[in-house]
A and B are shown apart, each in its own frame.
Chain A
Amino acid sequence: MRTNVHVKKRVAIVGAGLTLFARRLLETPAELAWEAASRALGSAGLALKDIDCVVIGSAVDGFDGVHMKGEHIADGAGGLLRPTVRVAMGGGTGVMVPIAAWWHVASGLCKTVLAVGEEKMSHAYPHPQAVFAYIWHPILERPLGPNLIWIFALEMAWYMRECKASKEDIALVSVKNKRNALDNPHAQAAANITVEDVLKSETLVWPVQLLDISPVSDGAAALVLADESVARRITDTPVWIEGVGFALDSSFWYNRDLSYPRYVEQAARMAYKMAGIERPWKEIDIAEPHDPFDYKELHNLEGLMLARKCEAPRLLKEGHFERSGELPTSPSGGLLGMGNPIAASGLMKTAELFWQLRYEAGARQVKKAVHKAVASSWGGLMQTSTVIVLSR
């Protein structure tokens, strides 16, 4: 049952494009945006003049090292002299970009939208971790000298204890996603590794080891969205945006049970309700959950209600989430395999589902028939979730 009555226009994705994801690219942030935007427009058979509005997503000014980053990349993103806006939701930005683009079209404001996500994390020296040092509460947390991996380590340890999941169980996510990325020409961290390799990699902040984490990256991704009348003219295979959801929890991240992301469930319920999905674990065919760390994919899958609480590690072991499995997850290679230019990697996940739903994913195409798909981005201090549901 569809409950949303406020949507004026049905919205489709009609094109997608990516740059290479890599460390220390020569291209400027605006050039990355241009490359992704041009590819997305090209794949839709459109030119910039056909675009009404532009939505830009970029997580943090501090990575690229310019304030007003949205304004700076706007000309590369095609955003000059037309309605253009930037959204920033930290790590949740990637999927927030198509969500914001969706409401531009769904409201009837724009018939076509170019949605571009860009992040260039290699400008900050010695390491982008320096930028993450300033996401903390300046009085209650920063004096402890926290780094980003601490908070993931605390959450991962909490999840492992609560769900009786072992390091071996969790390492399988890294193995799967890096292997999936071998078929992705845009990938930074594709590899054939074993659980052993993950367990033997450097321990950074227990229980997090080097191969549990996605690498930092430069990159951009773009989508073209159109309302139904335009989409039907452009393509025989539009991919519909059926539902969107987003939710924010408190930045007092230590005030809640970190073993389960209730804010992800909140965002997912909103998106599923709009899409008329009542049993996501049965109805969703394929998923791209946010996977900056390996355990995080399992955590997000449970929040997205694609597995019961603490059930994801077992399903993973049984091959449920492989490309050949019942519910393929991160067939793109995910952030673990593709690299993680934050706003771009989240948008990349939506782009991957666009290709999968059109059966255009080539060597990455999953075995089963696909009709409904879900992507999520996640971020902040364990607090932000953005979810999008697509169908063919």
Chain B
Amino acid sequence: MNRRGGRGELLHVEGSMEADKYVYPPGVLGSEAAKALAEGKLTGIRCGEKLIVPPRPYCPDHSKGELVEVRGPWIVESFTIVYEDMYGNMLETPQVIAVLRHEDAEGSIVHFLKAEKPRVGMRTRPVFKSPEERNGTLGDILYFEPAEQASKK
């Protein structure tokens, strides 16, 4: 007898394991951070001397953090280039994913990077959607681009 349990001649029962959908609220402080994002502002929390990104209500020592705007360049800490999606399809344009650290902050964020020659140490800045298209989610930032290039525009 064929002992493989896939969809062969063996009887099988199909099923799935999902709720219809999930709805994730961003949290109390996260709601404020989302509003700021829709206004084109990135945020973090102030914990004494430290600036922590991304924002969350609690500091590493469990004390309460204060939401603050984070301005200025984000530096590429590491990056990778995605050529194939999770189903094995080649992407038309390879996509650069970067870990981006704010120079004053502890911790980094991760986002797309649009740069001809990505390199570690590169200074970047976020490129936002137009204000009317923003809705307070991560997608409000289209990608990060080299800060030097931005200043030439």
How far apart are B103's CB and chain A's nearest CB, in angstroms?
23
Contact, CB under 8 Å: A37 / B62: yes
Query: Is A34 in contact with chain B by the CB < 8 A criterion?
Result: yes
Cβ 8 A contact of B20, one of A25, A49, A62, A125: A125
Shortest Cβ distance from A127 into B: residue: B19
Shortest Cβ distance from A136 into B: residue: B15
Contact, CB under 8 Å: A130 / B19: yes
Residues on A with beta carbons closer than 8 Å to the beta carbon of B56: 30-31, 75
How far apart are B71's CB and chain A's nearest CB, in angstroms?
25
Within 8 A of A (CB), among B36-85: 56-58, 60-62
In angstroms, Cα B61 to Cα A138, docked, is: 45
Query: Is A76 in contact with chain B by the CB < 8 A criterion?
Result: yes
1/0 contact string of A142-172 vs chain B (CB within 8 Å): 1100000000000000000000000000000
Shortest Cβ distance from A34 into B: residue: B58
Cβ 8 A contact of A34, one of B13, B22, B57: B57
Contact, CB under 8 Å: A62 / B62: no
Query: Is A38 in contact with chain B by the CB < 8 A criterion?
Result: yes
The number of residue pairs between A and B whose CB atoms lie closer than 8 Å in the complex comes to 69
Cβ 8 A contact of A26, one of B15, B21, B28: B28
Contact, CB under 8 Å: B24 / A27: no
Contact, CB under 8 Å: B21 / A125: yes
Chain A CB count within 10 A is highest, among B22, B24, B29, for B22
Query: Is A390 in contact with chain B by the CB < 8 A criterion?
Result: no
In angstroms, Cα B31 to Cα A134, docked, is: 32
Query: Is A65 in contact with chain B by the CB < 8 A criterion?
Result: yes
Cβ 8 A contact of B22, one of A37, A47, A80, A123: A123
**Which residues does B use to contact A, with CB under 8 Å?**
13, 15, 17-31, 56-58, 60-62
Interface CB pairs A-B, < 8 A, 21: A25-B25, A26-B27, A26-B28, A26-B31, A27-B28, A28-B24, A31-B28, A31-B29, A31-B56, A31-B57, A31-B58, A41-B62, A47-B61, A49-B61, A75-B56, A125-B19, A125-B23, A126-B19, A126-B20, A139-B13, A142-B13
**Which residues does A use to contact B, with CB under 8 Å?**
24-28, 30-31, 34, 37-38, 41, 47-49, 62, 65, 75-76, 78, 80, 122-126, 128, 130-131, 134, 138-139, 142-143
